[in-house]
Chains A and B, each alone.
Chain A
Amino acid sequence: MASQKTIKIRVKRYIPEKAEEPFYSEYDVPYSEDMVVLDALNYIKDNLDGSLSFRWSCRMGVCGSCSANVDGKPKLTCSSFLKESKGDSILVEPLSHFRTIKDLVVEIDVFVKKLKSIKPWIIRNEEKPIADGEYLQTPEQRDLIKQTSMCINCMLCYEACPVFDMDNDFIGPAAAAISYRSVMDSRDDGAKERLDILTSKHGVWDCTYIGECSVVCPKAVDPALAIQKLKAMGGISIIKSLLPKKK
């Protein structure tokens, strides 16, 4: 058999029942041009080491579950081609801003709680009867929320956010971007309520516009800018509430 080209995959492991500390495992994986890191991980799991744990589902950059650090950069492993890597080995590590459960699997409750806190559904003052049909939007209204609607909750932006690293209570990029989407949604009546949540303690004020969240986002969402817009909207809304009300 002709010797097939291989590539070394170095994975940061953590197996709490086996070792107190994380360690690294190395695997030689057959290499081909069209392979992504997730393919390599699946090859390892199926052929070399069944104990390796990682999350994945769609393999096509939609589900947002296969996030990891590839050569130190937060990426979807399903969208990182082996050929993009410069060295002869690729380092795969779990997201470092979350607690590791096992290997590349991290504890995501901290993010899910934030997601819940911003009420990522449409808030209506009054539901119209089903017989009246859908809530329609014009293309212009849709454009306002198009970009932030692309978020897939992959949490790469949290991995890129030093403020979240410093303070896990910070609302963070994705939750704020998703909330911005709701605030701007022509069908939504919850803007005031949402801005109140976003401008509370550990809300948007903690962001210093470092901007790395928008750089790493695989879906080209711009959470950094969304947060600055929310600061302006929230700030103005608060000032209005402080001014004496007109009779």
Chain B
Amino acid sequence: MDKEVRSYEYKPSKTWWLGNRRYALYMVRELSGFAVAVYGFIFLAQLFTLSQGPLAYDALLGVLLSPAGILLSTILLVFAIFHSLTWFDLTAKVQPPSMKGKPVPRKIVVTGTIIIWLFISYFVAVFIFRVG
């Protein structure tokens, strides 16, 4: 039946994500998720070298704190923040928070999320990394 109604073999586009700005932005968003995994691998490498002793750890640390390492960290941080914002945004849309049966206004949800996020970040810095 297929052959009767179609004159040519249709092939799905492999480059559709270059087709418009929103598709491209989607791809950036997905790659921001991948960037999070890339940082996961870096952090995993740090943990692994920690288990192998100070020599191994310091060698990796040297690379990570070099200009190239800093550049990589900066790029990954930008992607990671992009991931956080898009993720919180989607979560709030999928499960809109409500109080007493009424939806919480979007402005309050956004500011509330960011404040909680900053507070948790501060908590991690002080109590896990013992900064300050």
> Is there any pair of Cβ atoms, one from A and one from B, under 8 angstroms apart in the complex?
yes
A residues with a Cβ closer than 8 A to B are 14, 16, 19-22, 96, 99-101, 107, 162, 165-166, 208-212, 215, 225, 228-229, 232
- Whether a CB of chain A sits under 8 angstroms from the CB of B53 is no
Chain A: which residue is nearest B86 at the CB level? Answer: A209
A158 CB to closest chain B CB (Å) equals: 13
Nearest Cβ on chain A to B12's Cβ, whole angstroms = 5
Contacts of A19 in B (CB 8 A): 7
Q: Which residues of A contact B7 (CB under 8 A)?
A: 14, 16, 19-22, 100
A16 to B7 Cα, complex, angstroms? 7
Q: Are A166 and B12 in contact (CB under 8 A)?
A: yes
A212-B23 contact, Cβ under 8 Å, with A99-B2, A107-B5, A165-B16: yes
Name the residue of chain B whose CB is nearest to the CB of A107.
B5
Given contacts A20-B7, A100-B5, A211-B22, contact A225 B94 (CB under 8 A): yes
Contact A21 B8 (CB under 8 A): yes
Kindly state the separation between the CA atoms of A107 and B7 in the bound complex, as whole angstroms. 13
B95 contacts the other chain (CB 8 A): yes
Interface presence of B26 (CB below 8 A): yes
Q: How many pairs, one residue from A and one from B, have CB atoms within 8 Å of each other in the complex?
A: 52
Q: Is B127 close to A, CB under 8 A? A: no
**Does B100 belong to the interface (CB within 8 Å)?**
no
Please give the distance in Å from A159's CB to the nearest CB on chain B: 11
Q: Does B121 contact A (CB under 8 A)?
A: no
List of A residues within 8 angstroms of B20 by Cβ: 212
The answer on a CB contact under 8 Å between B12 and A208 is no
Known: A211-B26, A212-B23. A99 touches B10 (CB 8 A): yes
Given contacts A16-B7, A20-B7, 10 further A-B contacts (CB under 8 A): A16-B5, A21-B7, A21-B8, A166-B12, A211-B22, A211-B26, A212-B22, A212-B23, A212-B26, A232-B94
B1-41 interface with A by 8 A CB criterion? 2, 4-8, 10, 12-13, 16-17, 20, 22-23, 26, 30
With A and B bound together, what is the CA distance between A211 and B89 in angstroms? 14
The contact string, 1 if C-beta is below 8 Å from chain A, for chain B 68-96, is 00000000000000000000001001110
Q: Which residue of A lies closest to B29 (CB)?
A: A209
Interface core residue of A16, A19, A99 (most chain B CB under 10 Å) = A99
A101 with B5, Cβ < 8 A, contacts A165-B12, A225-B94, A232-B95 known: yes
Residue of A nearest to B96 (CB): A229
**Contact B6 A100, beta carbon cutoff 8 Å:** yes
Q: In the complex the two chains form, is A165's CB within 8 Å of B13's CB?
A: yes
B6 and A99 contacting across the interface, CB-CB below 8 Å: yes
30 contacts between A and B (CB under 8 A): A14-B7, A16-B4, A19-B7, A20-B7, A20-B8, A21-B7, A21-B8, A22-B7, A99-B2, A99-B6, A99-B10, A100-B5, A100-B6, A100-B7, A162-B12, A162-B17, A162-B23, A165-B12, A165-B13, A165-B16, A208-B26, A209-B90, A210-B23, A211-B22, A211-B26, A212-B26, A215-B22, A225-B94, A228-B94, A229-B94
